Chains A and B, each alone.
Chain A
Amino acid sequence: MREITIGQYIPGNSAVHRLDPRTKIIVTLFYMILLFLLNNFQGYVFPVAFIVLASVLSGISIKYMLKGLRPLIFIIALTFILNIFMIKGRILYEIGPLDLTYEGLYQGAFMAIRLVLLIVGTSLLTLTTSPISLTDGIEKLLSPFKKLGIPAHELAMMMTIALRFIPTLLEETDKIMKAQMARGADFESGNIIKRAKNMVPLLVPLFISAFRRADELAMAMEARCYRGGENRTRMKELKMTSLDYMTYVIFSTIVLGALISRYLW
């Protein structure tokens, strides 16, 4: 579990790190849309330029970002292969009943690159934004939709608490696992069904403890005068700076260039 690097926050103080989380979320959203608007290979120059720029400014190497692809390599390969064989067109090669077409090759490569750019580009957000500022940003961005019944503050609080308790619960899982193993429990051998069955003595105490924790935490929060988002202030207020406005200008240029490229190339 520890090898997964996509999206793990790398603390830093670069220009990208210092951006308002809202800016980074908005840019990431538009970046995703942009990727799906591009219709030819040449257009990828723009997202690639975006990633290179972000990498230089944030001090996070492209190599590191690509490392995050490793757990997803299977999905990317599958996308490529499916496209190669599913698309009809000029046949380059025949493998049994399957036709390898020129159009398939083109489309497969196009889709695979799109996926790579999508993963790398979006991982930039979480690589450079701490979980707290991310939740703060989401809360602020969603707050205009409160009137539509979207519980912005509650969602953000839930995310914060989840983030806070993940390490605690992992530690606890480890402890229970060791305790049960000392009593002869076996979590590693057998087929899937047997293994799932063996997990029961792990999950039951874990759930009981999680509910007790939730109960106590709720009481502790109330004791500290928590009463929802109403009238609540924040120690760290989000503020857009000239850095953010510059980012919007540069990013808009990239988007514009990409849109024009649809017609030029």
Chain B
Amino acid sequence: MTAEIIAQGVYYQYAQDNNLALKDINFKIDKGEFVAIIGPNGSGKSTLAKLLNGIFVPTKGEIYVDGVNTASKEDIWKVRQKAGMVFQNPDNQIVATVVEEDVAFGPENLGIPPAEIRIRVREALEAVELTEYAHKAPHLLSGGQKQRVAIAGILAMKPQCIILDEPTAMLDPVGRKEVISTVKKLNREEGKTIVLITHFMDEAVQADRVFVMSNGQVVMEGTPRQVFTRVEKLKSIGLDVPQVTELSYQLRKAGIEIRPDLLTLEETVDCLCQLL
């Protein structure tokens, strides 16, 4: 497998800030991989996301998206087309007054011919299961639906990679589920590389790999199981662990022998049943 995103010794400093927002970030994300990034507020997650699709360029170091350096001025539009970005607030990223017009916004910017745009818009709305909302006004949709419109708007640009910066933070539980299942479907069925920034541990658990950020650095990296079993380390950073992992952690502390690497509810139920 080839790498989709490569970060090499990336540092970032905001102009009006003396501190580094990102320090010595190094990683590779493979094509088709689903990576979750977690970390406390202010740890640099959003900054990193904005570096990945060239909204910001590294102060030092390089980022490559599908082989293209994000710092190259001529290729910046290529980078943004390859790595689409979904933001936290669904209201502040929808441009048009009709759903299908908004989905068409990206391809229109790319100069795609009208007939082709229509096909892309139809396919994108199908992929997020919003076909019947094509002619609706976005402000009449629920939060989860708005966020899926935003995802469709990115899909219509045919990116290889989708970066989502806390897309579920402002949604209700139903909306969160809609968005996460859409993201997973795009990863499984369409092979899109996913970078999901989230503060919900139960979402991070579903990724192939988890990056943990703290103070502008990636401090832990591994499969969800590898990461979430290190409960003490996560807590010292100021992060929660998934509820079931917390449960098994507390049980073990109380002297009950239970697997330390529980992540899902089903596993836990099984394990607890065996104990009884």
Q: Which residues on A are within 8 Å of B, measured CB to CB?
A: 131-132, 160-161, 163-164, 167-168, 171, 212-213, 216-217, 219-227, 231-237
Contacts and interface: CB of A to CB of B under 8 A. Distances in A.
Nearest to A215: B92
A219 B101 CA distance: 19
Interface string B71-108: 00000010011001101010111111110110011111
A217 B92 contact: yes
Contacts of B137: 167
Interface of B: 50, 53, 55, 77, 80-81, 84-85, 87, 89, 91-98, 100-101, 104-114, 117-118, 121, 137-139, 153-154, 157
24 contacts: A131-B97, A132-B96, A132-B98, A161-B95, A164-B97, A171-B139, A213-B91, A216-B87, A219-B55, A220-B92, A222-B80, A223-B55, A223-B84, A223-B85, A223-B87, A224-B80, A224-B84, A224-B106, A231-B111, A233-B107, A233-B117, A235-B100, A235-B101, A235-B108
Contacts of A161: 95
A234 B108 contact: yes
Given A131-B97, A233-B108, A225 B81 contact: yes
Contacts of B108: 232-235
Contacts of A171: 139
Contacts of B104: 234-235
A223 B80 contact: yes
Contact of B93 (A212, A216, A227, A232): A216
A226 B105 contact: yes
Contacts of B97: 131-132, 160, 163-164
Contacts of A216: 87, 89, 92-93
Contacts of B105: 221, 224, 226
Nearest to B112: A233
B55 A226 contact: no
Majority secondary structure of chain A interface residues (helix, strand, loop or mixed): helix
Nearest to A226: B109
B138 to A, nearest CB: 7
A259 B28 CA distance: 75
A220 B87 contact: yes
A65 B260 CA distance: 72
Nearest 6 interchain pairs by C-beta: A220-B93, A216-B92, A235-B104, A225-B109, A235-B117, A167-B139
Nearest to B53: A223
A221 B113 CA distance: 20
A247 B17 CA distance: 61
Contact of B77 (A164, A227, A237): A227
Contacts of B55: 219, 222-223
B120 to A, nearest CB: 9
A168 B97 CA distance: 11
A233 B94 contact: no
Contact of B114 (A164, A212, A231, A236): A236
B161 to A, nearest CB: 13
A235 B80 contact: no
Contacts of A220: 85, 87, 92-93, 95
A235 B81 contact: no
A66 B197 CA distance: 54
Nearest to A234: B108
B223 to A, nearest CB: 29
Given A163-B97, A167-B139, A235-B117, A225 B110 contact: yes
B101 A132 contact: yes
B106 A225 contact: yes
B152 to A, nearest CB: 12
A167 B157 CA distance: 27
A221 B92 CA distance: 10
